[in-house]
Amino acid sequence: MAFPDSVLIVDDDPDTLVALRDMLRYRLRDVRVTTRESAMAALDALRNTNYRVMIAYLRMPEMDGLTLLRHVHQVRERTPVVMMSGVTEWGLTKRM
Domains of the chain, with CATH numbers?
Answer: 6-95 (3.40.50.2300)
- Radius of gyration of the chain from Cα atoms? 13
The pLDDT score that the predictor gives to residue 5 is 86
List phi, psi (to 5°) of 30.
Answer: -90, 5
pLDDT at position 92:
54
Predicted local distance difference test score (pLDDT) of residue 60: 82
Q: Note the pLDDT of residue 33.
A: 95
Q: To the nearest whole percent, how much of the chain has pLDDT over 90?
A: 60
Distance of CA 74 to the CA centre of its chain: 15
User: What does the CA dihedral 78, 20, 93, 68 come to, rounded to 10 degrees?
Assistant: -50
Query: Mean per-residue pLDDT for 40-65?
Result: 90
What's the mean per-residue pLDDT of the chain?
Answer: 86
Q: Does the structure show a pLDDT above 90 at 8?
A: yes
Whole-number Å distance between alpha carbons of 64 and 33 = 22
pLDDT at 2 over 60: no
Q: Which of 82, 84, 78 is nearest to 60 (CA)?
A: 84
